[in-house]
Amino acid sequence: MSFLNVIRRRLMFLILVLFGVTVITFTISNLIPGDPARMIAGDRATPEIVQNIREDLGLDKPLPVQYLRYLEGVVQGDFGNSIRTRRPVLEDLRIFFPATLELALTALFFATALGIPLGVASAVWKDKPIDHFVRVIAVTGISTPAFWLGLLVILLFYGNLGWLPSGGRIDPSLEMPTRVTGFLMIDSLLAGDFQAFGSALKHILLPAFTLGFVHLGVVARQVRAAMLEELQQDYIRTAKANGLSRFKVVFTEALPNAMIPSITVLGLALGDLLYGAVLTETVFAWPGMGAYVVNSIQALDFPAVMGFTVVVSLAYVLINLAVDLIYMAVDPRIREVS
Amino acid sequence: MADPVLKIDGLEVLFPGFAGDVHAVNGVDLDVQPGEIVGLVGESGSAKSVTAMTALGLLPTGAFRQSAGTISILGRDVATMSEREMNKLRGGDVAMIFQEPQTALNPTKTIGKQMLRVIELHSDLRGMAARDRAIELLKDMRINDAEEILGRYPFELSGGMRQRILIGMAFACSPKLLVADEPTTALDVTVQRQVLQLLHAKARQTGASVLFISHDLAVISQFCDRIYVMYAGRVVESGPAQKVLGNPQHPYTAALIEALPEDADPGAPLASIPGTVPNLVNPPKGCAFQARCRHAHAACDSRPVLTDVGSKHQAACWLREEISA
Ligand SMILES: Nc1ncnc2c1ncn2[C@@H]1O[C@H](COP(=O)(O)OP(=O)(O)OP(=O)(O)O)[C@@H](O)[C@H]1O
Ligand code: SF4
Ligand SMILES: [Mg+2]
């Protein structure tokens, strides 16, 4: 199986997924009672005005026609205009999606940067205090509701200690760096604005910790299990018989192989984090997709909701593609199969 | 006389367990002299592997306890050696190959990478010079397309090929002692013979001593200068291969030879003797073979010690004591 084959297969899958997702969301959007044209026009509009708007938006056409029109737009990168913000949906997504992705990736970084070493340590020192400690963290992580943990850390680090801000992405008094990637931490560095970078970093710490904490335990447990599995393999014995130090046996022999099954878990975690961000964003007033989509649903802003759905599905499929490709890059046995 | 390359005295090893400690090794004395090929034979579970792995410090830490005995390698007591010194020894002066070539190599690293790792760890060779050495080692193992093999992954190669690579790796830094734990048991018969011949030739050529663990009496008799027969974590008979196998003095050795069918394949596993090995959680106080021995008598309730039954030939059995007395 070659890289190209995998990419081709995943992209075909992507088309199917997008088709399915748009059909479903489109149908649901149109089943929900409420008239977008009337929402746009406002309470005091005459029926003629409402009718005009309806015709402008093509809402008077039969559903299949509306759907095809929508699809035609999507293919060209046009998700229509948001009814609520009156901007192109794509423009809104460009603003809000990177904010969510930045939060999710930072949370994933936090979960892996701590989770992998903790997992390795608890496998190497199985049944020792560090192992028990990791088990406690994992159980706590899985059983702690994110909003509760969020409020707790706000109370502590903002309320009591006053070290970190309670919400937002950046100090409102600072000028936003020019948008390049949409990731504030990267854009501020690109602009050479260290003050903005520091503020962005401070703002992301608490929400990323809150969001990543659940996955910290998941990652640690996964790495622990995979490491225990690898450490009892025969090739580890060979490595020791070859005179490799304990350190090298763990980090250059066992760990790379233990990371192979962990890649799937990390991919799933990222998908989960994107979705989980919605809740965390609410707690920390993080201006991302979470807030955007909740507001859009309340405003019956169908183009916005559909745009969100399409982008999230796209992200899921791309994450899976990345997982597949990484798998192939690191495991020669998979490259070879079929 | 030079120091023995390996000398084990009164070794006892146990594995702590919920149901009580498993007394795997119960007082083993064993030595391997320079240039000697020594066989270690016995039924499954007689602790051949545990004995060898303890000697090289390869048992998983924490899982076992050495409750008595000393081990010295090349004249040095391993108990006095640091982890660092042991690492220098393993893969350098002392090498080991194992029973399962299919799993003994890292599945995600190329053969070349794994071979260079040992070579660079224990010699001054680097880069192309190290690579040349790897190719030379493979060629010695009759692997003709050595350059190409270096770029291959283990799963792309046959078991026999992998074991030859592992033997090549074991000889990478001219070891003085090679421990070979059933190196051919997992291979099919024709490949077995070929691999054994390569191993034998290489050992003789480099003057390396070999501790050769095997089920296979036929192979042991061809291959080894001297043998130790183990039963339930003890040595029950030892001596020159021809003497022990031609004129066994311990009922267990005799039973092993008798149980071997006349027309046995050279690669056939050890034939079975009626009865089962004793429970090692509560090892018998007396002779461990008592329950299966047709010569068992009152004296066997206490443990027999190894005594001379011929020149350089020893057996641990009350029967021999009484005859020679
Ligand atoms: N890690 C371990 N934990 C507990 N018991 C063990 C462990 N390793 C070995 N043993 C026990 O030690 C005894 C000796 O095992 P060993 O593997 O040395 O036998 P062997 O003679 O090499 O047998 P085989 O011919 O099957 O390889 C067995 O009873 C086994 O159950
Ligand atoms: S000591 Fe007794 S039981 Fe043991 S082998 Fe000799 S005769 Fe048999
Ligand atoms: Mg064994």
* Sheet architecture: strand order including B177-181: B94-97, B177-181, B209-214, B37-41, B226-231, B234-240, B313-315, B307-310
Output B262 or A179, whichever has higher pLDDT.
A179
ipTM score over 0.90, yes or no: no
Report chain B residues whose CB lies below 8 A from the CB of A243: 87-92, 118, 121-122
For residue A196 the two structure tokens come to 């903005």
User: Do residue A239 and residue B106 have CB atoms under 8 angstroms apart?
Assistant: yes
Say yes or no to pLDDT of B99 above 60: yes
pLDDT band at B1 (very low <50, low <70, confident <90, very high): low
Report chain B residues whose CB lies below 8 A from the CB of A244: 87, 91, 117, 121
The answer, for A194 touching chain B at a CB cutoff of 8 Å, is no
Say yes or no to pLDDT of B264 above 80: no
* Contact call for residues A187 and A108 (beta carbons, < 8 A): no
Residue type at A110 in one-letter notation = F
User: Do residue B108 and residue A330 have CB atoms under 8 angstroms apart?
Assistant: yes
Cβ neighbour number for residue B146 with a 10 Å cutoff = 22
Give the residue from A320, A318, A338, A328 showing the smallest Cα distance to A260.
A328
Total residue length of chain A? 338
pLDDT of residue A54: 78
Say yes or no to pLDDT of B54 above 90: yes
In Å, how far from its chain's centre is CA A277? 7
pLDDT of residue B108: 92
* Contact call for residues B116 and B89 (beta carbons, < 8 A): no
Domain ranges of chain B: 6-81+213-324
pLDDT of residue A338: 44
Residues 236-265 of A with CB under 8 A from B: 237-246, 253, 256-257, 260
Gap from B130 CA to chain A (nearest CA, Å): 15
In chain B, the percentage of residues whose pLDDT exceeds 90 is 58
Domain ranges of chain A: 89-337
* Contact call for residues A296 and A281 (beta carbons, < 8 A): no
Report residues of chain A scoring pLDDT below 50.
338
Q: Is the CATH code 1.20.120.160 the one for domain A89-337?
A: no
Of all ligands present, the nearest one to the C-alpha of B24 is 1
> Who among A234, A243, A257 is closest to B108 (CB)?
A257
Q: Which CATH class is domain B6-81+213-324?
A: alpha beta
Residue A288 DSSP class = S
User: Do residue A242 and residue B90 have CB atoms under 8 angstroms apart?
Assistant: yes
pLDDT of residue A209: 93
Q: What are phi and psi of B237, to 5 degrees?
A: -155, 145
Best-predicted range by mean pLDDT among A60-74, B207-221, B259-273?
A: B207-221
**Angstrom distance (rounded) from CA B227 to CA B185:** 18
Beta-carbon pairs below 8 A across chains A and B: 72
Give the C-alpha distances (Å, rounded to integers) separating A77 from A159, B8, B105.
Answer: 44, 76, 50
pTM, 2 dp: 0.84
- What region, left, alpha or beta, does residue A337 occupy, with left being phi > 0 and alpha being psi -120 to 50 degrees? beta
Say yes or no to pLDDT of B268 above 70: no
Closest atom of ligand 2 to B290 CA is: 3
The answer, for A34 touching chain B at a CB cutoff of 8 Å, is no
Instruction: Pick from B108, B114, B156 the residue to mutate for testing the A interface (most A CBs within 10 Å).
Output: B108
User: Do residue B105 and residue A232 have CB atoms under 8 angstroms apart?
Assistant: no
pLDDT in tens, B169-195: 999 989 999 999 998 887 888 888 888
Report chain B residues whose CB lies below 8 A from the CB of A333: 107-108, 153, 155
pLDDT in tens, B100-128: 888 999 999 999 999 999 999 999 989 89
Of all ligands present, the nearest one to the C-alpha of B55 is 1
Closest residue by Cα to atom 14, ligand 1, is B47
Output A174 or B151, whichever has higher pLDDT.
B151
Contacts of A138 (CB under 8 A, 6+ apart): A216, A217, A218, A220, A221
pLDDT in tens, B9-35: 999 999 998 888 999 999 999 999 999
Contacts of B224 (CB under 8 A, 6+ apart): B37, B38, B39, B212, B241
Report chain A's mean pLDDT, rounded to a whole number: 87
Gap from B246 CA to chain A (nearest CA, Å): 35
